[in-house]
Amino acid sequence: MAADMEVISLILDDNAERLEKTVSVLKNEYVTIRAGRANPRVLDKVTVDYYGVPTPINQVGNIAVQEGRCLVITPWDKSLLKNVEKAILAANVGLTPTNDGTVIRLVFPELTEERRREIVKQVKRMAEESKVAVRNIRRDTLDTLKKMNKNKEITDDEYAGFEKDVDKEVTKAIENVEKLSAEKEKDVMTV
Predicted pLDDT of residue 178: 95
What are the residue ranges of CATH 3.30.1360.40 in the chain?
40-107
> Residue 54 pairs with which residues in a beta bridge?
49
What string of pLDDT tens digits covers the 191 residues of the chain? 444 788 888 999 999 999 999 999 999 888 777 666 777 888 888 899 888 889 898 888 899 988 878 889 999 888 888 988 898 888 887 788 898 888 999 888 887 888 888 889 999 999 999 999 999 999 999 999 999 889 888 888 989 999 999 999 999 999 999 999 999 998 888 76
Q: Write down the pLDDT at residue 36.
A: 67
Residues 6+ apart with CB under 8 A from 64: 40, 71, 72, 74
pLDDT at residue 21 in the model: 95
pLDDT at res. 136: 95
pLDDT computed for residue 95 by the predictor: 81
Q: Which fold has domain 40-107?
A: Gyrase A; domain 2 (3.30.1360)
The closest of 77, 91, 84, 76 to 105, measured between CA atoms, is: 84
Q: Contact 98/105 with Cβ under 8 angstroms?
A: yes
pLDDT of 40 reads 83
Torsion, Cα of 127, 129, 132, 136 (10° steps): -120
Give every CB contact of residue 4 below 8 A, 6+ residues apart in sequence.
148, 153, 154
> How far is C-alpha 84 from the chain's CA centre?
23
Provide the pLDDT for residue 191.
63
The CATH H-level (homologous superfamily) assignment of domain 2-32+112-189 is Ribosome-recycling factor (1.10.132.20)
Cβ contacts of 34 within 8 Å, gap of 6 or more:
42, 93, 94, 95, 108, 111, 119
The pLDDT assigned to 2 comes to: 46
Position 68 scores a pLDDT of 75
Instruction: Please list the residue range(s) of the chain that carry CATH number 1.10.132.20.
Output: 2-32+112-189
Residues facing residue 105 across a β-bridge: 72, 98
Using CB atoms within 10 Å of the CB of residue 6, give its burial: 0 to 12 exposed, 13 to 18 middle, 19+ buried: exposed
